[in-house]
Amino acid sequence: MVHALPPQKRRELLHLLISASPYRGALSRHLEEIDRAAAEHPQITQIMSEVYSEISIHSGSVPRDPEAKKQYHLLLDFLEFIYFSTPEAYKGISGAR
């Protein structure tokens, strides 16, 4: 059963994850869309809930538990996938201005 985070906690976690991403500049401009995608994807919703319970949002810590740490990195991979779907990434890859 998927236990979804309340929207405020989900956005707090997304802010933390985006700040840890090398693509944070572009991703932060798409936060609303990322939040919506995360909320609508059952696996991402479950992973976010589990990671949130293992970290301290205010200190920006990475989970210590090996499984939670793996899930944290899966969420970063999710954000990287999203980044490469943005117009900013396309421009960077194609050299378009």
What residue segments make up the domains of the chain, in order of their start?
Answer: 41-92
Q: What is the pLDDT of residues 6-56, one digit of tens each?
A: 999 999 999 999 999 999 999 999 999 999 999 999 999 999 999 998 887
CA gap 3, 15 in Å, rounded: 20
pLDDT at 16: 93
pLDDT at 2: 57
Go through 27-50 and write b for each residue having 16 or more CB atoms within 10 A of its CB, e for each that does not. Answer: beebeeebbeebbeeeebbbbbbb
Q: What angle, rounded to 10 degrees, do the helices at 66-83 and 7-20 form?
A: 80
pTM of the model: 0.85
